[in-house]
Chains A and B, each alone.
Chain A
């Protein structure tokens, strides 16, 4: 079982990240996936997070407890959620938006200029998809083919191609990062 938290600020597509991953893994990746999100006034505009539990068996307890993977796309979200991350978990950040402390314990730390890449591709709104590509390459939670199957229907049709391009950009950068061993 893997517990994942995507975090950032409202409007970045943080909820969408967990929806895409949950859909891909449960419909095409042969896994059980349960997705929850933070609701209420505290979830608007400020630190926003979505939670995904991925498992080979049915997920019984519906919320994450100690996540193994934390994706942070804002400083506030990083500050709020970093301490919950498992000692040997994955920490993935947007390096232009989050100033991180040196990773504690055996945390595997990776960073990507997701928002910058998205801007280079023409629209910062697809930064979350760059992040999803990077996340997929780094965590190897599933293949890029499976993850990409989760995207149609969850982004506007007219921007599907752009979103897929953003995903590929992040995925390739993730592979390069792994190759460099950092």
Chain B
């Protein structure tokens, strides 16, 4: 994996009072994103606005597409044209992107999609928060595949995790989602953007061999195939159909097994390298509070109160939600009495915790149907109840 430093042109070094939506855009620009194609939707519109203002000055292109289907298709084109590309959306737009997200997975196209989640289903709550698209991020397109999804808890993490998203997408040639939400998207806080030379980026793995020898889906020693830039003289074919190493359709069970298992294994086998968690006070914890995004900071408020009441509580913030930290959760399940899992949905990622824990400890879902964040008292009560 070749690393490089960020191009100073795209890096707005300094301290800013900035909302999460803008911070997503700044993270993208710092990571070298030079193509943005999107269709504005509340509460993510500010990200598109920011890109439209900034990207022409750093040598990139902004296109407002006719809809979300076209947005994601244009990203795939831009990436195969040699750029790093990103889009932003919210629930209804995310639904429309699903088919071409599958295409990006199949074509092993690195790109970044931020979802500033709002309450759903359907048009739902355009201006109010939710975390209801978490399973859609995981399973929304048809067929078997793996993706990576990160979840920031602040405007600062919107910046930081968007860079991480680009690095992961280039490393594994996979779409990476930054699953934030309306609350963080519209929240202003201090965002520190470091100097360009402190931002480490993963470079795309370019094929340098002879022109007639390029195979777009022949795995390199690290399991990830090389890419070329369309127009550089390499003849190649890529498609949504099940394909062989050459990228040509080969429609049989054997090729399907090779192709699809690769899409899954490149993420599963590297899960430990991909997963990014933040844990506190885990060692003697009786109760583990697992959460992600805005809910993880609201949870800390409840955890502080629970500690005052004498309960031993540890926390795990999932900065990476997908792949799910199976190994770590399994390990902790044998040590804690219960896992308390608040999220702003009817209980989605908690299902993964339940599956992994397999009755080794109690798993308590603390759902919220969206429109606001949890009242910390509700989380506190769940912790107290679980500790009984």
Contact = CB atoms under 8 A, between A and B. Distances in A.
To the question of whether A and B form a pair in one complex, the answer is yes
A39 B128 CA distance: 8
A32 interface: yes
- Chain A's interface size range is 20 to 34
Contacts of A33: 17, 188-190
A62 B376 contact: no
Contacts of B76: none
Interface string A67-86: 00000000000000000000
B126 interface: yes
A40 B126 contact: yes
Interface string A143-176: 0000000100000000000000000000000000
Contacts of B294: 62
A27 interface: yes
B188 A19 contact: yes
Contacts of A62: 183, 187, 294, 297-298, 373
A36 B187 contact: yes
B319 to A, nearest CB: 16
B221 interface: no
Given A19-B17, A26-B17, A62-B373, A36 B186 contact: yes
B328 interface: no
A22 B187 CA distance: 11
Interface residues of B, number: 23
A40 B127 CA distance: 6
The residue among B182, B183, B190 with the most chain A CB atoms within 10 A of its own CB is B190
Contacts of A34: 187-189
Given A26-B189, A33-B190, A34-B188, A39 B298 contact: no
A43 to B, nearest CB: 8
Contacts of B42: 39
A63 B373 contact: yes
B126 to A, nearest CB: 7
Interface string B108-147: 0000000000000000001110000000000000000000
Contacts of A142: none
Nearest to B43: A39
Contacts of A39: 42-43, 127-128, 182, 186
A27 B193 CA distance: 13
B17 A27 contact: yes
A22 B127 contact: no
B75 interface: no
B190 A60 contact: no
A19 B189 CA distance: 9
Interface string B172-191: 00000000001100111110
A61 B15 CA distance: 22
Contacts of B187: 34-36, 62
A37 B186 contact: yes
A33 B127 CA distance: 22
B301 interface: yes
A23 interface: yes
A1 to B, nearest CB: 11
26 contacts: A18-B188, A19-B17, A23-B17, A26-B17, A26-B190, A27-B15, A27-B16, A27-B17, A34-B187, A35-B187, A36-B186, A36-B187, A36-B188, A37-B186, A39-B42, A39-B127, A40-B127, A60-B298, A60-B301, A61-B298, A61-B301, A62-B294, A62-B297, A62-B298, A62-B373, A63-B373
Given A22-B189, A62-B294, A63-B373, 14 more contacts: A19-B188, A23-B17, A27-B16, A33-B188, A33-B189, A34-B187, A36-B187, A60-B300, A60-B301, A61-B297, A61-B301, A62-B187, A62-B297, A62-B373
